[in-house]
Amino acid sequence: MKIETITKKDGTTVYRTAVYLGVDSLTGKKVKTYVTAKTKKALKSLSDLKIAEFERNGKTRLRKKVEFENFESLANAWLEDYLLTVKSNSQAMMKSHFKRYIIPALGSYKVEKISAPLLQSIVNDWAKKANTASISKGKRPAGASSNYGVLLNTVQRILDYAFQLGVISNNPARMVIAPRLKARGKQKLKYLDKKQLKAFLNYLDSLEQTDKNVFSVTLYKLLLDTGLRIGEALALNWSDIDYNENIIHVNKTVDRLGKVQDNPKSKSGVRDISVSKRTMLMLKQWQNRQRVLHQKYRLSTHIVFSSSVGGHLSRGCVSRTLDTHYKNAGLALTGFHAFRHTHASLLLNAGADYKEIQHRLGHSKIGMTIDTYSHLAPDKAKETASIYEQALKNLG
């Protein structure tokens, strides 16, 4: 340590030295500072104190330390920024995670007192509840989410935020491991097989031609014919329907509350879907009926599946009606995704190319299409077995 002796104007002597603190974790540059003390011993102590302070601050001088009353106040500060970067569905899910898991488990703790053992015990408890919970209709009860790995990741991100603000010198959540989720067998996809599909279509055709029934039948058949997600279908405007080219332009979706999102689930969700003339005729007939209804009610003439007050429908409104139709048709199904899976199954068994199916469904990767739907093509599997058998015979 090079020490400089300085004589002040009043005749007193002080000692000054340059202290190398280390490499700044945010800039990557070497950092040094100067300390001054009345004695060499005090100079050494003050130098050590500056180095320790630099370490506690995450090895950076750019962060200004911010104080939070507890983890809940920190988490809410992080959440406020996070909500500005994601769509409404992700916002709703994160708020649910906060309310049901993260804040009850950690909210009252002082941020600097949160340790890796504490977090590990919390994550272990989440995992235990998920692994021991009874599953009904493919779902675990509230408070037993299987996404505890996502919850841990969220806590990590919140504590990273605390580190960036200088609240903590390291992130204990990064030393925590999420236990493995117990395998309980792969959940089967819900879809209509040939017999069920025929029965359901016959049921739809037998319904009285009321405005409400025609609305529902048009929606259901469109989903079966295109493989659209329900949010994508509810977001359609008539300007998205190209009658000349028999194409539907998919470029937006609605969230669970009926709020329009400017783009679908992913970039690959923006796509054009070719449909049959039969489907286009069905849509044209519904559009003509909708124009008549507009004279009676406030039904929009711009939105394909408008609410009674002229806006976009929420998924919940149409889901309840669908479940009633399923029940009346004698089918033990729920939800709209069965139509999407049925569409994929029909295409696969008819020999459609996986790449084309990927495009129609709006999957970002073809592996997702193959992994999800390959087992829904029993006819193709039988065909493959026959081809193999014939190949053996050809060996002579």
pLDDT at position 72 over 90: yes
Q: Specify the residue for token string 């104007």.
A: 9
The mean pLDDT value for 126-132 works out to: 91
Q: Are 151 and 97 in contact (CB under 8 A)?
A: yes
Structure-model confidence comparison of residues 203 and 316, the more confident one? 203
- State what percent of residues in the chain have pLDDT above 70: 88
Position 388 confidence tier, pLDDT thresholds 50, 70, 90: low
Nearest Cα residue to 287 out of 325, 240, 319:
240
pLDDT at position 385 over 60: no
pLDDT at position 178 over 70: yes
Separation of first and last alpha carbons in the chain? 90
Position 216 confidence tier, pLDDT thresholds 50, 70, 90: very high
Please tell me the predicted confidence (pLDDT) of residue 116.
95
pLDDT at position 16 over 60: yes
DSSP H helix total and E strand total for the chain: 15, 8
- Tell me how far the alpha carbon of residue 362 is from its chain's centroid: 15
- Cα separation, 101 vs 106, in Å, equals 9
pLDDT at position 329 over 90: yes
Please tell me the predicted confidence (pLDDT) of residue 37.
83
Q: Hey, what are 66's tokens?
A: 């911010």
Q: In this structure, which amino acid lies at residue 160?
A: D
Please tell me the predicted confidence (pLDDT) of residue 375.
64
Please tell me the predicted confidence (pLDDT) of residue 265.
61
Please tell me the predicted confidence (pLDDT) of residue 137.
62
Please tell me the predicted confidence (pLDDT) of residue 174.
93
Per the confidence metrics, is the pTM higher than 0.75?
Answer: no
Structure-model confidence comparison of residues 340 and 264, the more confident one? 340
Collapsed DSSP state (helix, strand, coil) of residue 5: strand
Round the average pLDDT of the chain to a whole number and report it.
Answer: 85
The mean pLDDT value for 3-8 works out to: 84
pLDDT at position 141 over 90: no
The mean pLDDT value for 12-18 works out to: 86
pLDDT at position 70 over 70: yes
Please tell me the predicted confidence (pLDDT) of residue 387.
58
pLDDT at position 151 over 90: yes
pLDDT at position 284 over 80: yes
Please tell me the predicted confidence (pLDDT) of residue 277.
93
Position 347 confidence tier, pLDDT thresholds 50, 70, 90: confident
Give, in order, the Cα–Cα distances in Å from 8 to each of 12, 46, 66.
5, 20, 37
Give the other-Cβ count within 10 Å of 69's Cβ: 10
Please tell me the predicted confidence (pLDDT) of residue 392.
58
Among 27-41, 122-136, 162-176, 177-191, the minimum mean pLDDT is found in 177-191
Q: In this structure, what DSSP letter does residue 312 have?
A: B
pLDDT at position 282 over 80: yes
Collapsed DSSP state (helix, strand, coil) of residue 165: coil
The mean pLDDT value for 241-265 works out to: 85
Structure-model confidence comparison of residues 143 and 72, the more confident one? 72
